[in-house]
Structure 1
Amino acid sequence: MAEGHIRREAVSDQLFAVLRDRILGGELPAGAALTPERELAAGFGVNRHAVREAVKRLQQARLVEVSHGGRTQVLDWRRTAGLDLAVGIAAADTGPTVQDIARDALEMRACIGADAARLCALRCSARTAAEITAAAERHAHTGPDLTELDGTYVAWWRLIIEGSGNIAYLLAFNSLVDGMIPVADVPADLGAAEILDVEAHRRLAAHIAAREAGAAEELARELLTRSVPSAPRGCEGVRR
């Protein structure tokens, strides 16, 4: 493959990004052998330590597998990589687009939120249910500043996620809130339909307090899917 010199600062990070993009874009397909360390170093004009660091990161991301004999094989990232790769996919110049990943993240957000609401209704303490109800009222009386509204909305959902008792949901929520999993800017009309529906928030809090798990799940899913942009998509599964 054609190589080129890259900037000297953080060379291992840059090399990792270049190789990651080639794997995600299919230029380095699953099953292919990664170019040997010596050739990568010469092709990019970097030292072998930088190459080893980049390959180590690829291995940690489950993009490649290093055999005992030293051969490095490209893996099928759709089968091996974890959720943390979403950041890399969004930053890549090839492969799934930022819009694709962002929409997928919003769909995941709706699924997690719906099930978290169900679990919260089943598991949370009476104190937590009361806090969720109170947080819904605080959100209802916040505004009109959208940044402030978004803050109270996120705080309300954090109570629900924590009340679900599911640590995996909580970590995913943190990643979404912190931007580690990229979510595109939601169109204003869609975001408003979700954030400004204070009556839906009150009803959801009431379902949780009343231990109505099914109703809580259904309403949470309906509320959160309002922010998912509608876009035609085929049935081919994960885009290749």
Structure 2
Amino acid sequence: MSEEVNHNATITRAEEITAILRDEILTGQYRPGERLPSERELAARFESNRGAVRESLKKLEEIGIASIKPGGVRVVPLEEATLSVLAPMLDLQSGQDCSLFCHTLEVTGALIGLSARSAVTQATREQLSAMIGCVERMLASPSDPDLQSDAWRTLARMLTEINNNLVLRLIMNGLRLQFESRQKPGGPPLQLDISEQQTILSALKDSLATRNADQVASCINQHFDLLRTTLEDYYAADPQNRSQANV
């Protein structure tokens, strides 16, 4: 029993150390190619055992920001990291600017648009009807940002499921988890310009009905462009807005 408690305590401490070292690497306190302190030095700094430190260093290597070699642990360029660092990077950028979040929206829109190109032609009549119904619900409730947000998630999920591209779905799952991990309970949803959104949705409904794959993808990209520009304006309008709204 005591061994299990000690093991859990070590893992918890390792997670704390991982978070601190990860943020220090992401904020540039340790630069690419630079060697991290030794296990002994880190254990002394964090007043922890070397087992917890070792576990932490393995996790840093796992997410792609450190490389464990016989000569020590060195920082890896951020460009070689995995999607696992996106959420903490978004949190670290929070309150400064929204560029990384906007880049994430841009990539998400492109991936959903790519998925839509195949899904629209592959969908059964029932699936197509369900997607059109999803768009119609958004058109009928233009002033309900919660409904709009939920409906877009549902539509995106349907498109990726119908497309059935496993690699694309895995990438989308990774991005979705990064977004969901930083949604703030009770945070206000981002309010888009109703006129612009209705125009996009009307075109999306028509293009789904005619199975115009290129136009569906274009409408999806337009929606994410609107999200991005709205978020940029929201950040620029008032510093207090930063990190408050949910997309």
Correspondence for 2:110: 111
CA distance in 2, matches of 1:13, 1:206: 49
Match of 1:43 in 2: 45
Match of 1:134 in 2: 133
The answer to whether the 8 Å contact 2:91/2:182 transfers is no
- Displacement after TM superposition at 1:138 (Å): 3.2
Question: Could you list the runs of 5+ residues in structure 2 that have no partner in the other structure?
Answer: 1-9, 234-247
TM-score normalized by the length of structure 2: 0.73
- Farther-moved stretch of structure 1 (40-49 vs 201-210): 201-210
Local SS of the residue matching 2:229: coil
1:89 equivalent in alignment to 2:89: yes
Pairing 1:13–2:12 present: no
Displacement of 1:86 after TM fit? 0.4
Distance 1:181 1:165 in 2: 25
For each residue in 1:146-169, what CA deviation from the matched residue of structure 2 results, as whole angstroms up to 9, or x when unmatched? 323432332233222322323344
Q: Aligned partners of 2:61, 2:112: CA distance in 1, in Å?
A: 32
CA distance in 1, matches of 2:93, 2:49: 25
Which is helix-richer, 1 or 2? Answer: 2
SS of residue in 2 equivalent to 1:89: helix
For residues 214 and 62 of structure 1, what CA distance do their matches in structure 2 show?
36
Whole-angstrom CA distance in 1 between matches of 2:151 and 2:201: 12
Question: Does the aligned pair in 1 maintain the 2:35–2:73 contact within 8 Å?
Answer: yes
**TM-score, normalization by structure 1:** 0.75
1:28 aligns with 2:27: no
1:129, distance to aligned residue in structure 2 (A) = 1.4
Deviation at 1:139, TM superposition (A): 3.2
Percent of counterpart pairs with the same letter?
A: 21
Is the CA contact 1:129–1:205 (under 8 Å) kept in the aligned structure 2?
A: no
Q: Size of the alignment, in residue pairs?
A: 219
Post-superposition shift, 1:41?
Answer: 0.6
- Partner Cα distance (1:203, 1:117) in 2: 15
- How far did 1:142 drift? 4.3
Which residue pairs with 1:5 in the alignment? none
Name stretches of at least 5 consecutive residues in structure 1 with no aligned partner: 1-7, 233-240
Maintained 8 Å contact 1:31/1:75: yes
SS of residue in 2 equivalent to 1:229: helix
- Aligned residue for 1:212? 212
